[in-house]
Amino acid sequence: MKRILIVDDEPNIVMTLEYAFKKKDFEVYIARDGGEAMQILKNNIPDVVLLDIMMPNVDGYQTLDHIKKSEALKNTKVVFLTAKNKISDIEKGLKLGADKYLTKPFSIKKIVSEILELLN
């Protein structure tokens, strides 16, 4: 079973993504910000982290940095899913080590297929 950590502070987005990935037989973990994500990542190694950038407390860039520095998480894929959609934002996210950069608003079908493609 594939494991995904969804990190976003918007409850409606989290619910939609959680439902879609559970339908595809993913084990789903949820965090409302990067700090919560880091707590979850201490005991769980997901196959992929779906990560917003703009969140309270610990943002997506800080969370990505934490993941990239962790030996235990070296095989975990990171996908930004964010409203930051300027070319410079996308380039920054990929340069910092994200495996994919997807923008909001989004098609749930596209997100699921992008994640499945990344994991295969």
What pLDDT was estimated at residue 112?
Answer: 97
What pLDDT was estimated at residue 37?
Answer: 97
Identify the three-state secondary structure at position 108.
helix
Question: What CATH number does the domain located at 3-111 have?
Answer: 3.40.50.2300
Whether residue 56 is preceded by a cis peptide bond, meaning omega within 30 degrees of 0, is no
What pLDDT was estimated at residue 103?
Answer: 94
Identify the three-state secondary structure at position 5.
strand
pLDDT along the chain (120 residues), means of 10: 97 96 98 96 97 94 96 97 95 96 94 96
**Contact partners, residue 27, CB within 8 Å, separation at least 6:** 1, 2, 3, 4
What pLDDT was estimated at residue 117?
Answer: 96
Where do the structural domains in the chain lie, given as residue ranges?
3-111
**Contact partners, residue 59, CB within 8 Å, separation at least 6:** 33, 34, 53
